[in-house]
Amino acid sequence: KHLKTRAALSQIPGPHGKFLIGILLNIMDTPENIWSYVRHLSGKYYPIYKYWILHIPVVTLVCPDDIEIVFSSTKHSAKGDVYKVLLPWLGTGLLTSKGLKWQNRRKILTPAFHFNILQQFIGIFTEESQLLVKQLQIECEKPYTNIVPIITQCTLRAICETAMGTKLEEDAKSQEYTNAIFRLGEILFHRLTRIWYYYGASFRLTSLYREQNKLLKILHGFSRSVIKNRKDNFKEPIDLVTLSSGTFSPLKRQLAMLDLLISAKYSGEPIDDEGIREEVDTFMFEGHDTTTACISFTLLLLACHKDIQEKVVQELQDVFGDSNRAPTFQDLQNLRYLERVLKESLRFYPSVPFLSRVSEEEIHTYTGYTIPSNTIMHIHIYDLHHNPQLYPEPEKFDPDRFLPENSAGRHPFAYIPFSAGPRNCIGQKFAFLEIKTIVSYILRNFVLEPVDQPSDITMITHFVLKTRNGIRVKFLKRQTRLI
Ligand code: HEM
Confidence of residue 240 (pLDDT cuts 50, 70, 90): low
Is 63 among the annotated ligand-binding positions? no
**Predicted TM-score of the model (pTM):** 0.95
Confidence of residue 401 (pLDDT cuts 50, 70, 90): very high
Task: Using the mean position of ligand 1's atoms as its centre, give its distance from the Cα of residue 286 in Å.
Answer: 6
Q: Is the pLDDT of residue 209 over 90?
A: yes
d(CA 327, CA 342): 17
Please report the pLDDT score of residue 324 as a whole number: 86
Asked if residue 47 has a cis previous peptide bond (ω within 30° of 0), the answer is: yes
Question: With 0-12 CB in 10 A as exposed, 13-18 as middle and 19+ as buried, what is 411?
Answer: middle
Could you give the percent of the chain with pLDDT greater than 70?
A: 95
pLDDT tens track for 82-127? 898 999 999 999 999 999 999 999 999 998 888 888 998 999 999 9
Q: Is the pLDDT of residue 477 over 80?
A: yes
Confidence of residue 445 (pLDDT cuts 50, 70, 90): very high
Please report the pLDDT score of residue 77 as a whole number: 87
Residue 91 neighbours by CB under 8 Å, 6+ apart = 274, 277, 278, 281
Look over the chain and give the mean of its residue pLDDT values, rounded to a whole number: 92
Range 273-279 contact pairs with CB under 8 angstroms and sequence separation of 24 or more? 273/224, 273/227, 273/231, 274/91, 275/93, 275/105, 276/227, 277/91, 277/220, 277/223, 277/224, 277/227, 278/90, 278/91, 278/92, 278/93, 279/93, 279/94, 279/105, 279/109
Instruction: State which of 96, 257, 290, 429 you would mutate to test the pocket of ligand 1, scoring each by most atoms of that ligand within 8 A of its C-beta.
Output: 290
Q: Do residues 274 and 101 lie in contact, with contact meaning Cβ atoms separated by under 8 Å?
A: no
Please report the pLDDT score of residue 194 as a whole number: 82
d(CA 60, CA 131): 42
Lowest mean pLDDT among 4-8, 294-298, 479-483: 479-483
Please report the pLDDT score of residue 74 as a whole number: 86
Task: Using the mean position of ligand 1's atoms as its centre, give its distance from the Cα of residue 90 in Å.
Answer: 14
Residue that wins the pLDDT comparison between 203 and 144: 144
Complete domains list, the chain, with CATH: 1-32+42-72+353-416 (3.30.43.20), 73-352+417-477 (1.10.630.10)
Confidence of residue 483 (pLDDT cuts 50, 70, 90): very low
d(CA 25, CA 51): 12
Please report the pLDDT score of residue 317 as a whole number: 96
Residues in the ligand 1 pocket, defined by CB under 6 Å: 79, 94-95, 106, 282-283, 286-287, 290-291, 294, 351-352, 355, 417-419, 423, 425-427, 430-431
Quick one: angle between helices 273-286 and 207-232, nearest 10?
Answer: 110
| Phi (first) and psi of residue 234, to 5 degrees | -75, 130
Instruction: State which of 156, 258, 286 you would mutate to test the pocket of ligand 1, scoring each by most atoms of that ligand within 8 A of its C-beta.
Output: 286
d(CA 164, CA 112): 13
Q: Is the pLDDT of residue 133 over 90?
A: yes
Cβ neighbours, 10 Å, residue 11: 10
